[in-house]
Amino acid sequence: MNSDIRLSSRVVAALQEVVGVEPVQLHTPIFNGNENKYLQECIESTFVSSVGQFVDRFESDLASFTGSKFVVAVVNGTSALHVALELAGVGINDEVLVPALTFIATANAISYCGAIPHFVDSESTSLGIDADHLREYLGTHTEQLSGQCVNRSTQRVIRAIVPMHTFGHPSDIEALLAVASDFNLVLVEDAAESLGSFYHGQHTGTFGLLGTLSFNGNKTITTGGGGAILTNDEMLARRAKHLTTTAKVPHAWEFVHDEIGYNYRMPNINASLGCAQLERLPEMLLAKRNLFDRYANAFTSIPEVNLLKEPSGTRSNYWLQTLILDSSQAHLRDDILELTNSVGIMTRPAWTLMADLKPYANCPSMDLTTARDMVRRIINIPSSAHLGNTHE
Amino acid sequence: MNSDIRLSSRVVAALQEVVGVEPVQLHTPIFNGNENKYLQECIESTFVSSVGQFVDRFESDLASFTGSKFVVAVVNGTSALHVALELAGVGINDEVLVPALTFIATANAISYCGAIPHFVDSESTSLGIDADHLREYLGTHTEQLSGQCVNRSTQRVIRAIVPMHTFGHPSDIEALLAVASDFNLVLVEDAAESLGSFYHGQHTGTFGLLGTLSFNGNKTITTGGGGAILTNDEMLARRAKHLTTTAKVPHAWEFVHDEIGYNYRMPNINASLGCAQLERLPEMLLAKRNLFDRYANAFTSIPEVNLLKEPSGTRSNYWLQTLILDSSQAHLRDDILELTNSVGIMTRPAWTLMADLKPYANCPSMDLTTARDMVRRIINIPSSAHLGNTHE
């Protein structure tokens, strides 16, 4: 046996210490609350579509939980981001700064606005945008013209910045807000992965002009498919509701639409699931923290592998638990992925960097040294809340 | 009492003969089948999101019912049409022929492709596109250049035509296919309103290169929010599935997306509702035909008002029952809307013509004489299937 095989085997052993020997998915939802009850109530009401009491309640419950003044529920996180960017003023031929290390939905939402993603590097503590590196880059590569940040190379306006809270860990959002302010950028937060994550006590997604959440089936809580737009600005909240309901002007029977809107409202049946899920969110978050502790304990014996921990000053939802291989072990990433998946423990690497995907290969990008290094070293491991309950 | 009031009152009396005196909505769904059972099964499976057995079954059941070889379920009818148009080759600066008399989603889907709606007139029998009028218009206003239909005024390519089967009544689709063929246009069918409607025995939505359905809460059957793309072309079906699942290339763990796709897949929880609804579709269709007969009987005493009947050679789903006022009575439309709604019978006019809406006011349009005339005379009346069951 060579040492390569030994590390893979030791990782499998550490994982099995926590998750057992049965096949285990990366992330599965838990439905042990009022899910069936609320679904039935929704069916009995006959309001299953874009209007209904559960949508109103879900929005209100999310506002309470996140501290956001206004919440607009939509069909998914991608549509939330699309509308948030449009409301932030992102339009045709604008550039938008976005981490290269993200799920493709972040970049796609920019494309839907007719805008161009401009990829930026990450830092290794939170895996979010590296504010210092970005500040330096913008200082040398952009100029301010009539209060707009202009990319010297492309002559296009850089309109906005979209930090993403990777795997649930809060980015250094205050440093990023300072960069946004200094370079005249609107900040829109992609908090798709970070429901339940806080930065200095404030919920992620509530720092920017607008923020967005996702309730896809693989997220901490799910509505089947779903998302939400967060904002503290009442006018933007009204515009978000208007744009996501086909821009129909309210009237008892007339059909007047005053702009090109979207069919993006969350159906009531999905919101009924969301209301039940949200009731259990606090205990799920505790279970996920407990799972981190269990993994941390199991991996103490493997010094070549670190478990990604919430950055100091933040409280993470630990959406996806993350192994970071030592740089010297990065060449073993695929061996570990192969062996873990072959024994039924679902693991996966980070996303391919956006700048390396065919549809985005020609977009502007800063040097991505850290993001590129981290992608070689990241392995996500099973993260379902139920794995954190030691009695299971 | 003047004669105006008398007509409104007689309409209310005729409606109450059918729907009774309690408040009644325009269209409500019926959930008296396996809805709760399948929702619970879906929850128990934990697969509530974009993958699951109910999505597969719903697609397969829809294929059987419509006779379409392939069906791809998506989040709503708008997204179905957006992707169908993209697959039909509609792109930036193309024009797409579309009835001015339609719901705004048809025009919006064209806009999402970066294309421009070009509005066409309707005929009074089906309320669909007037094929003869359109043929004459295209003959004088377009020219064929390298096999493309070019608008002489704008010099833009007219790429496609999107017939819509209004209120469920099939358009004269064979005549429209002939126009499409003669002028080199791709035909994409908006069958959002016509699940269960047939033209010479063939289901609407299966005549064009692609067709689309909607399962919004106000439709004949509902999934909360939902839609589907129909096609007999296997390659297009694969492309539809790929584009609606963020264009992710299948792999056990790698994240490679080879184009800019969409987060448009129907969640399994919504599909579970759809499977139960589809089981009851045949009896709902019978009830809706029965409701037409009941209204037809009640309105025999009011010669100034006609009930829109399925065009000959077609079988309509009678999604929305429709009164057509005699031209001489068109000025009474709003009186009738006011009185019916004031006594709790929900009614509504046709949509504002697309060419009259602010966002589309500057788009190309042919003469809309018939559509404009019909809009003044159309009133939709309560149409829920349960109103067709005489025992209720």
- B390 confidence band (pLDDT: 50, 70, 90): low
CA distances B338 to A248, B16, B387, Å, are 20, 15, 22
Q: Which of B74, B254, B269, B241 is nearest to A29 (CA)?
A: B269
pLDDT at B1: 40
Q: Give me the mean pLDDT over the B172-178 stretch.
A: 98
Encode pLDDT of B124-169 as tens digits. 999 999 999 999 999 999 999 999 999 999 999 999 999 999 999 9
Whether pLDDT at B392 is above 50: no
Helices A281-298/A268-279 angle, 10° precision: 60
CA distances B86 to B117, B193, B210, B261, Å, are 14, 21, 11, 11
Whether pLDDT at B58 is above 80: yes
Distance from CA of B43 to the nearest CA of A (A): 7
Strand partners of residue B349: B379
- A105 touches A78 (CB < 8 A): yes
Encode pLDDT of B269-310 as tens digits. 999 999 999 999 999 999 999 999 999 999 999 999 999 999
Q: Which of A87, A24, A9 is nearest to A392 (CA)?
A: A24
Reading the block at residue B201, the tokens are: 């025995």
How far apart are the C-alpha atoms of A29 and A339, rounded to whole Å? 25
b/e for A323-357, b at 16 or more Cβ within 10 A? bbbeeebbebbebbbebbeeeebbbbbbbbbbbbb
The answer for A 183-212 residues in CB contact with B (under 8 A) is none
Domains and CATH numbers, chain A: 3-28+281-388 (3.90.1150.10), 35-279 (3.40.640.10)
Residue B225 touches partner A, C-beta closer than 8 Å: yes
CA distances B375 to A9, B121, B286, Å, are 72, 12, 28
Q: How many residues does chain A have?
A: 392
How far apart are the C-alpha atoms of A378 and A318, rounded to whole Å? 15
Report the DSSP pairing between strands B202-203 and B157-161: unpaired
Q: Give me the mean pLDDT over the A275-285 stretch.
A: 97
How far apart are the C-alpha atoms of A194 and A378, rounded to whole Å? 18
- For B93, the 3-state DSSP assignment is coil
Strand partners of residue A315: A198
- A247 touches A221 (CB < 8 A): no
| Strand residues in A77-224 grouped as ranges (E) | 95-99, 116-120, 142-145, 148-151, 157-161, 186-190, 198-199, 202-203, 210-214
Strand partners of residue A380: A322, A348
Which residue blocks in chain B are alpha helix, DSSP H? 3-19, 35-45, 53-66, 77-87, 104-112, 131-141, 173-182, 234-244, 268-279, 281-298, 333-342, 369-375
Encode pLDDT of A59-100 as tens digits. 999 999 999 999 999 999 999 999 999 999 999 999 999 999
- For A282, the 3-state DSSP assignment is helix
How far apart are the C-alpha atoms of A166 and A155, rounded to whole Å? 30
Q: How many residues does chain B have?
A: 392
Do B47 and A217 lie within an 8 Å CB cutoff?
Answer: yes
Whether pLDDT at A391 is above 60: no
User: Which residues fall within 8 angstroms of residue B83, CB to CB, at 6 or more apart?
Assistant: B74, B229, B240, B243, B244, B262, B264
b/e for A137-162, b at 16 or more Cβ within 10 A? bbeebbeeeeebbbbeeeebbbbbbb
Q: Give me the mean pLDDT over the A154-161 stretch.
A: 98
Chain A residues whose CB is inside 8 A of the B260 CB are: 108, 111, 359
Encode pLDDT of B81-138 as tens digits. 999 999 999 999 999 999 999 999 999 999 999 999 999 999 999 999 999 999 999 9
Angle, alpha carbons B297-B302-B307 (nearest 5°)? 60
Q: Which of B292, B271, B64, B101 is nearest to B193 (CA)?
A: B101
DSSP B216-237: -TTSSS--SS-EEEEES-HHHH
Reading the block at residue A281, the tokens are: 């969110």
pLDDT at B310: 98
Whether pLDDT at B193 is above 50: yes
| Average pLDDT in chain B | 96
How far apart are the C-alpha atoms of A337 and B206, rounded to whole Å? 44
Q: Which of B105, B103, B99, B50 is nearest to B75 (CA)?
A: B50
Tell the residue number behind the tokens 């509902």, with chain if given: B222
Distance from CA of B201 to the nearest CA of A (A): 31
- For A97, the 3-state DSSP assignment is strand
| Average pLDDT in chain A | 96
Encode pLDDT of A194-237 as tens digits. 999 999 999 999 999 999 999 999 999 999 999 999 999 999 99
Residue B224 touches partner A, C-beta closer than 8 Å: yes
Residue A2 touches partner B, C-beta closer than 8 Å: no
Reading the block at residue B14, the tokens are: 């005729």
- For A344, the 3-state DSSP assignment is coil
Q: Give me the mean pLDDT over the A137-159 stretch.
A: 98
Encode pLDDT of A317-374 as tens digits. 999 999 999 999 999 999 999 999 999 999 999 999 999 999 999 999 999 999 999 9
Q: Give me the mean pLDDT over the B361-371 stretch.
A: 98
Q: Which DSSP symbol is given to B51?
A: S
**How far is Cα of residue A160 from the mean position of the Cα atoms in its chain?**
17
From the list B48, B222, B252, the residue facing A341 with the nearest CB is: B252
List % helix, strand, coil for chain B (3-state, nearest 5). Answer: 40, 20, 40
- A390 confidence band (pLDDT: 50, 70, 90): low
> Model's pTM, two decimal places?
0.96
pLDDT at A392: 43
Chain B residues whose CB is inside 8 A of the A262 CB are: 78, 108
Chain B residues whose CB is inside 8 A of the A39 CB are: 36, 39-40, 43
What percent of chain A is predicted at pLDDT more than 70?
Answer: 98
Residue A36 touches partner B, C-beta closer than 8 Å: yes
Edge-to-edge strand list for the sheet holding A348-349: A305-307, A321-325, A378-381, A348-349
If 0-12 CB within 10 Å is exposed, 13-18 middle and 19+ buried, where does residue A386 land? middle
Nearest CA in chain B to A341: B252
**Optimal mutation site among A253, A266, A337, A339, interface B, most CBs of chain B within 10 A:** A253
Whether pLDDT at A120 is above 60: yes
Q: Which DSSP symbol is given to A33?
A: S
How far apart are the C-alpha atoms of A33 and B193, rounded to whole Å? 37
pLDDT at A5: 56
pLDDT at B2: 46
Report the DSSP pairing between strands A210-214 and A314-315: unpaired
Identity of the residue numbered A175 = A
Q: Which of B99, B103, B100, B74 is nearest to B86 (CA)?
A: B74
pLDDT at B50: 83
Establish whether this prediction's ipTM goes over 0.90: yes
What percent of chain B is predicted at pLDDT more than 70?
Answer: 98
Tell the residue number behind the tokens 């980070």, with chain if given: A350
pLDDT at A51: 86
